[in-house]
Amino acid sequence: MEDLTQEEWAEQLVNDSNAVVLDVRTDAEVADGIIPNALHFDIYKGQEFINEIEDLDKSKNYYVYCRSGNRSGKACQIMEQLGFENTYNLEGGMLDWTGEVVDLE
């Protein structure tokens, strides 16, 4: 896991053709908007969250965020335990995010 600042995360994401963005917030938080093309898996769902994560392609690079950066850090740790090699935590989460946000359809 690597903690990235907002600028590092956004810059690296743009240049990564193997990137997948993960939002690990609750449904209520996601209702306020989501980073474009992000997949949503609520970390508070426990085993269901782990089951969903296990189905993902471990060869991809995962850019993970939550509201403040704490839950996404935990999600990155869980993903590493499951065999994911490249996970990037967004420091400051959505609270500090200045990039594009879209409504979840």
Residue 105 domain-assigned (yes or no): no
pTM for this predicted structure: 0.96
Show the domain range for 59: 2-96
User: Is residue 104 predicted with pLDDT exceeding 80?
Assistant: no
What's the pLDDT at 105?
62
Q: Work out the pLDDT band at 21, boundaries 50, 70, 90.
A: very high
> What is the rounded CA–CA span in Å between residue 105 and residue 101?
12
User: Is residue 26 predicted with pLDDT exceeding 70?
Assistant: yes
Residue 102 domain-assigned (yes or no): no
19-23 and 2-4 strand pairing: unpaired
Residue 101 domain-assigned (yes or no): no
19 closest CA partner among 32, 36, 44: 36
Residue 15 domain-assigned (yes or no): yes
93 closest CA partner among 1, 23, 12: 23
Catalytic residue positions?
Answer: 66
Give the model confidence (pLDDT) of 28-86 as tens digits.
Answer: 999 999 999 999 999 999 999 999 999 999 999 999 999 999 999 999 999 999 999 99
Residue 103 domain-assigned (yes or no): no
